[in-house]
Amino acid sequence: MMLNGSIGKAVAVLLMLVQFSTALHFYLRTGDVRCFFEDLPENTLVVGRITALEKNEHGTYIENPNLRVEITVDETFDNDERVVTQKSSPSGEFTFTSIESGEHKFCLKPVYTDGTIGKAHRVFFDVASGDAHDYVDSKSTRQVDALTGKVQKLNAKLEEIHFEQEHMRQREALFRDQSESTNSKVVKWTIIQLIVLIGTCVYQLRHLKSFFVKQKIV
């Protein structure tokens, strides 16, 4: 049932994002810029994913960890107000929510962290968008599920702690009984030793008295 619920949530998020979806690839040289325009409604969540590959000397496109893709998103209707600017790894993504409705310009530029230039690149650019409120609700649901899982884990730990406490109580009770039994035996043995000591003293006193009488000392 939990699996079906997770699949249903995933499907719901996918259906939410199909309101606007773009998947394309293009070729760029290092430092060149490619821009795309998209008209977005107000309060729209945009999720973009980028995969950038470098062309090597064999003509094969490969990943390079030093490669980055500069991403910018501008609101063209508001004097090119910039809403996103970041550098993505060769396989990265970005998200933002449109504050106002209107045309947005997405621009991508491949660069290198080590200053490499003159390379050719193949860039895959996938963008999807949907209502931000639906995304928040879905995300909230996932957060509730995560919190529920944490609560269940905490309950399990509490049960384990309770079991350990019960075990410790049993051991303490056993130790207390053994201590009381030992103390009782010690007290009894002490009393017996006192009785023997007193009896020995009485016997010695009588023996000495008898000895003194025979010697006519007393």
For residue 125, give the H/E element and its range.
strand 120-131
Annotated domain spans of the chain: 2-143
Task: Give strand ranges (E) for 56-112.
Answer: 61-62, 67-75, 81-88, 91-97, 102-112
What does the pLDDT read at residue 133?
57
Contacts of 177 (CB under 8 A, 6+ apart): none
pLDDT tens-digit readout, 81-123? 999 999 888 888 888 888 888 999 999 999 999 888 989 999 9
What does the pLDDT read at residue 34?
93
Give the Cα separation of 163 and 183 in Å (integer). 30
Give the Cα separation of 110 and 51 in Å (integer). 11
What does the pLDDT read at residue 119?
93
The burial class, CB within 10 Å (0-12 / 13-18 / 19+), for 74 is buried
pLDDT tens-digit readout, 36-80? 998 888 888 888 889 999 999 988 999 998 999 999 999 998 888
What does the pLDDT read at residue 67?
93
What does the pLDDT read at residue 218?
56
Which of 3.30.2130.10, 2.70.240.10, 3.30.1960.10, 2.60.120.380 is the CATH number of 2-143?
A: 2.60.120.380
**Spatial contact of 51 and 110, defined as CB atoms under 8 Å apart:** no
Is residue 151 scored above 80 in pLDDT? no
| Residue type, position 35, single letter | C
Is residue 138 scored above 70 in pLDDT? no
